[in-house]
Amino acid sequence: MKKIAILGSTGSIGTQTLDVVRHNDNLQVLAISAGSNIKVLEAQAREFSPKMIAVWQEDKAAELRVMLADMDVKIVSGMEGLLELAVLENVEILVTAIVGMIGIQPTIAAIKAGKHIALANKETLVTAGHIIMPLAKEHHVDILPVDSEHSAIFQALHGEKDNKIEKLLITASGGPFRGRTKEQLADVRKEDALKHPNWAMGQKITIDSATLVNKGLEVMEAKWLFGVDLDRIQVVVQPQSIIHSMVQFEDGSVMAQLGTPDMRLPIQYALYYPNRRYLGGERLDFGKLAQITFENPDMDTFKGLPMAMQAARIGGSMPTVFNAANEKAVAKFLNNEIRFLDIYEMIGEAMAMHQCVENPTVEEILRTEEEVYQWIESRW
Ligand code: NAD
Ligand code: MG
């Protein structure tokens, strides 16, 4: 039995992780967690019998204790609860399917406790990669990518240990607004931004895909995961989302991973690495597929990508500013408080006012996050 815990079990990645568990008889879920959706947590608890459940909101945790009074399960809450879940005894792999920088502290706690990390929560690596990667090495812990692009690269690198990477080619669908001009983006509504052409995902990452912020976060994520410099990471738009990313080696050979867009594949690969197992679902039909096309990203219109590259080049606490400003901006856009293009404005202004801290500690990262939030609240 492989024992896992899930941070964010009610979301898109969390529920798909549970689906992988459902179809494999040697995975056991020891802990689940969510922000506030206790109805879904109750159903998950009854199906998977975890030993611990973490609920962010204490009042919801109290309600869940009543709902699950007939079960032998410990229900914890707040950051303390997430930290307790992260180090739970006997858990081998922690799936970080939580959204946002809130994942930093639990991920660090889990690594220190020797848990392998199946990492979906890219915001954590973007802001604290300089702490997490060396810490994982020190504790002999694997950081197993769940993000489809990074899983593709991870798969393409299998057996290539000593071979030199010339370039990472991260593919992007281009999102729902690919091909539009700035003028055409001025009045787009959240309902339009939430219609991703190929993937069904949580709201935050879906907006990030529309702004290309997601691709920017993924470039930073790739830099940390694979130790490749920014100038050797290229984003290629591949609108059908069939090629999930590629690695170019020093002999010019390019290895790609292809498949239908289904996150259960990278989730399952992370949980069973380096082994593959049967996974049901649609297969690529090259006869029907007809074409796979490529184009360069439109960096002038979709500034999320160039701004992320700029933040990454500056380094230190700047990726935290980029990420925190984006998290706040996306929340405001989803709340109909700002317009689509204001997301870029907010990130740009937050980056411009920031005094960069080199090599920030976790405390400095969290303080920077808080400062950015406060600044945005006072300014917008
Ligand atoms: P989602 O919004 O669908 O789910 C987020 C989960 O986190 C939910 O279970 C929610 O309850 C939980 N959560 C949120 N705030 C919490 C808090 N304060 N305390 C405890 N739990 C909390 O998001 P998602 O799409 O599943 O994405 C999760 C992460 O995976 C993100 O970092 C995203 O960028 C990354 N990712 C997602 C996909 C995808 O296909 N959905 C693909 C690649 C990477
Ligand atoms: Mg991705």
Task: List pLDDT tens digits, range 103-151.
Answer: 999 999 999 999 999 999 999 999 999 999 999 999 999 999 999 999 9
Residues of each domain in the chain carrying CATH 3.40.50.720:
2-145
What pLDDT shows up at residue 336?
97
**Which ligand has an atom closest to residue 58 CA?**
1
Q: Give yes or no for residue 37 CB within 6 A of ligand 1.
A: yes
Task: Yes or no: say if 239 and 172 are a contact pair by the CB < 8 Å rule.
Answer: no
Ligand 1, residue 206: give the atom nearest the CA.
25
- In what order do the strands lie in the sheet containing 243-249? 233-237, 165-172, 243-249, 254-258
Q: Is the CB of 168 under 6 A from ligand 1?
A: no
Comparing CA positions, the residue from 167, 261, 132 lying closest to residue 209 is 261
d(CA 93, CA 2): 8
Q: What is the pLDDT of residue 104?
A: 98
Ligand 1 pocket, 207 CB below 6 A? no
Q: List pLDDT tens digits, range 147-186.
A: 999 999 999 999 998 999 999 999 999 999 999 999 999 9
Which atom of ligand 1 is found nearest the CA of 214?
A: 34
- Mean pLDDT, the chain, as a whole number? 97
Section 218-231 average pLDDT: 98
Nearest alpha-carbon partner for 98 in 24, 17, 38: 17
Residues surrounding ion ligand 2 at CB below 5 Å: 147-149
pLDDT tens, position by position, 56-96: 999 999 999 999 999 999 999 999 999 999 999 999 999 99
pTM for this prediction: 0.98
Quote the pLDDT of residue 280.
97
pLDDT for 290 beyond 90: no
In short, whether 201's Cβ falls inside 6 Å of ligand 1 is yes
In whole angstroms, what is the distance from residue 171 CA to residue 149 CA?
7
Count other C-beta atoms under 10 Å from residue 341's C-beta.
18
pLDDT of 16 above 90: yes
Grouping H, G, I as helix, E, B as strand and the rest as coil, residue 116 is strand
Could you report the per-residue pLDDT of 243-275, keeping only the tens digit for each?
999 999 999 999 999 999 999 999 999 999 999
Q: Determine if ligand 1 sits within 6 Å of the CB of residue 261.
A: no
| H/E segment holding residue 215 | helix 213-226
Give the pLDDT confidence of 301-345 residue by residue, as tens digits. Answer: 999 999 999 999 999 999 999 999 999 999 999 999 999 999 999
CA 85 / ligand 1 centre spacing (Å): 16
The packing angle between helices 122-138 and 213-226, to 10°, is: 10
The finding on whether 123 has its CB within 6 A of some atom of ligand 1 is: yes
Q: How many residues does the chain have?
A: 380
Please indicate whether residue 98, judged by its CB atom, sits closer than 6 Å to ligand 1: yes
> Does 3.40.50.720 match the CATH number of domain 2-145?
yes
Q: Under CATH, which number does the domain 315-380 receive?
A: 1.10.1740.10
DSSP helix/strand/coil, 316: coil
pLDDT over 90 (residue 278): yes
CATH 1.10.1740.10 location in the chain: 315-380
The DSSP call for residue 139 is: T
Cα–Cα distance for residue pair 55/275, rounded to 1 Å: 33
Residue 380, pLDDT above cutoff 90: no
Alpha carbon of 143 to ligand 2 centroid (Å): 16
283 CA to centre of ligand 2 in angstroms: 20
